[in-house]
A = this chain, B = another copy of it.
Amino acid sequence: MSSSEKIEFQPIGFVRNDHPYGQRPPTWQGICSRLQIDPRWQEALDGLDGFSHIIVLCYLHLSRERGAPVRVRAQGNPEMPLVGFFGTRTPTRPNPISMTVVPLIERQGNVLQVQNLDMYDGTPVLDIKPYLTRGDCHPQATSPEWIIRLWAIHDAQARERENS
């Protein structure tokens, strides 16, 4: 296929939680979401609940209109360096698809209950996959210094939330 060809997808379902766009929680850690999958795919979920963790691909439909500046700071944090958007997980990218690994708490029919998913209520789901430690888990992977610094900032914020 050529680089100008269009690729068409349709949502397989939607994220449901208490956080519509504009009501971002202080942290997504611990936030429960339901993935409401189209009932026609219900049987295709059989066996998924044998996995403790799943991969959720979503369509970041709200980020599309915002355009994609080539250089961004991770999470818009002014302490972070300007890097190309492919060097970050910013939602503003040419094909705004998110990839998140989350614990699968429960499956009931066509609904998957998950935790820690950083997606607003109503976000379209594109795909669900089992998380395979062999292939998906690379503890030896290394990151640049600024990511380590970003994680330290997150940790400090979490401690602050706990103490307040």
A interface residue numbers (CB < 8 A to B): 1, 3-14, 37-38, 41, 43-48, 50-53, 55, 57, 59, 61, 68, 70-71, 81, 83-89, 93-95, 97, 99-101, 122, 124, 126-144, 146-147, 151
Contacts and interface: CB of A to CB of B under 8 A. Distances in A.
Nearest to A14: B3
A87 B46 contact: yes
A9 B7 contact: yes
Contacts of A101: 135-136, 138
Copies in the complex: 2
B46 A71 contact: yes
Max chain B Cβ within 10 angstroms of own Cβ: one of A129, A141, A143: A141
A92 to B, nearest CB: 11
28 contacts: A3-B13, A7-B59, A7-B124, A7-B126, A9-B97, A37-B86, A43-B70, A43-B84, A44-B68, A44-B70, A44-B85, A46-B83, A47-B83, A47-B84, A47-B87, A47-B144, A48-B86, A51-B87, A51-B141, A51-B142, A51-B144, A52-B140, A53-B138, A87-B130, A93-B127, A94-B127, A97-B97, A132-B147
